[in-house]
Amino acid sequence: MPKQPKPGRNASGPLGKILISGVAGLAVTFLALLFCSWLFTRTQLPAWSAVPMATCAVCLGCFVCGLALARGFKKNGLFCGLCTGVAYYLIYLAAALLNGQFDFTATAGIKLVCYILAGCFGGYLGIMIAERKRTRRPG
């Protein structure tokens, strides 16, 4: 008789998949921001380039998080990416509110669109990778 897995101990449930993809996305965001900070200290980039570089780093994290989430669920890739982008934007919004920034600027709207597009693209690509692995034919 095969051993039954203990409930709540495996990462194959929906909460485990969300947690794993969130950690992967945050790790990629951290590494990209670390690279951006290293680039700022080694070169003489203008100060205005910090915001676009940080946005690109967070978009990369959204992409990876959406990709991992869609590969984990193997369906609804665009919805997974949309949820990822919205979650990252809510984190950005909470950080801005804690910093004392209470106005919604055009930059915040651009970041919302960028995060959602990056997450949706990652979710779509994650579904495509999962489909390719599932329908691979022997050569």
| Number of separate domains in the chain | 1
Spell out the alpha helix ranges (H) of 43-105: 50-73, 77-98
3 DSSP assignment:
P
| Tokens encoding 85 | 């982008």
87-131 confidence digits (pLDDT tens): 999 999 999 899 887 778 888 899 999 999 999 999 999 998 877
**pLDDT tens digits along 39-74:** 988 998 888 888 899 999 999 999 999 999 998 888
Token pair recorded at residue 81 = 């990416």
| Residue showing tokens 């209470």 | 102
Q: Which residues contact 104 (CB under 8 A, 6 or more apart)?
A: none
Distance CA 84, CA 92 (A): 12
pLDDT at 3: 64
- Whether 7 maps to a domain, the answer reads no
Residue 126 covered by a domain: yes
In a domain, 76, yes or no: yes
pTM of the full predicted structure? 0.83
Distance between CA atoms of residues 65 and 19, nearest Å: 10
Give the model confidence (pLDDT) of 19-30 as tens digits.
999 999 999 999
Domain for residue 26, yes or no?
yes
End-to-end CA distance of the chain: give it in Å, rounded.
36
Structural domain includes residue 77 = yes
Residue 33 is predicted with a pLDDT of 94
Q: Is residue 117 part of a domain?
A: yes
Q: Work out the number of other CB atoms within 10 angstroms of the CB of residue 117.
A: 16
Backbone phi, psi, residue 135, to 5°: -105, 20
Indicate whether 6 belongs to any domain.
no
Q: What three-state secondary structure class fits 101?
A: coil
Q: Supply the pLDDT for residue 16.
A: 87
Give me the domain span that covers residue 49. Answer: 16-134
Inform me whether the pLDDT recorded for 2 exceeds 70. Answer: no
